[in-house]
Structures are given as C-alpha cells and as structure tokens.
Amino acid sequence: MFFKKCRLKVGNAFKWFPRAMTLTRYPATTKDVAARIARMSTASPGDVHLVLTCLPTVMAQFMDEGRPVHIDGLGSFFFKLSCAGRGVDSPDEVGRQQIRSIRVQFLPERQGRGKNMRRPLTEGITLTEWGKTEDNEAQKDVE
C-alpha cells in the first residue's frame, strides 16, 4: 500500500499527514477479482464471476429484510439512513419525508479483543511512501 504526504488545515494551522493513494484510477474489476479467486481455489473464473455478480442482489435482499450481512474475513454490511434537516421535536413527527438517502455501511471484520485484536482484511499490508524505495526507508507492517 502506498501513501503520500498531504498538507491539511487543522484549526488555524497547516499540518502534514500521510494519505493513502492508489496507483491508478481504474479499479480491479469483477473479472479481475474472479480470476484471482479462481487461481486460489478449485472454482473456475466463470463460476466465481457468477457468484460475485449475484452477491449484491442477495445482500440487498437480506438487508431489506432487516438482517445485516456478515462475510467471514471481510466484515459486515447493513443499511444506514441519511436524514435531512435537524430532526423533529416528537416521535409522532418522525417519517419517511426526513429520509434523504439509503446507504450501505461497511464494518471491517475484527477478531480477538484488546491487544489480541486483529483485522484480517488489513493483515500483512506493507506501507510504502510513494517515491521511496525499500533502500531509502524501512517499510513498516500494519499491526
């Protein structure tokens, strides 16, 4: 994973922070993901592609039924409402007219507790400052 230095205004001063970056504006496609999963399993790329393209519909059905969706090693997905305005004064006034949009919230999976807590989705990720090589700066693994 690459990061770059980014200057942001905090209060009245500018401070420097690392910011995650991608190397291309073109994301890995469903076909790319299916091909990589197929290489790691006994399933064909076509079978994996079919499952991946069905996944959003099935997830939406479960969430529409009021059930969050948890995928082992990835995390949980559930619907979240984005509301317009500043709220109302009584429960009787709450209604659909306040809902601006429905969003999907994602929570990455966590395993363990306290100091033993780990996130499988980010395990083994190596941070590298963009423009520097391993010779210039030691890489640090994410905990």
pLDDT per residue as tens digits for the range 69-116: 999 989 999 999 999 888 889 999 998 889 999 999 999 998 888 777
Residue 96 zone, left/alpha/beta (φ > 0; ψ -120 to 50; rest): alpha
Is residue 124 very low, low, confident or very high in pLDDT (cuts 50, 70, 90)? confident
Compute how many other C-beta atoms are within 10 angstroms of the C-beta atom of residue 2.
Answer: 16
Is residue 134 very low, low, confident or very high in pLDDT (cuts 50, 70, 90)? low
What is the structure's pLDDT at 77?
Answer: 97
What is the structure's pLDDT at 52?
Answer: 97
pLDDT for residue 138 is more than 70: no
Closest CA to 34 of 44, 49, 56: 49
DSSP type of residue 43: S
Residues 6+ apart with CB under 8 A from 9: 15
Q: Is the pTM of this model over 0.85?
A: no
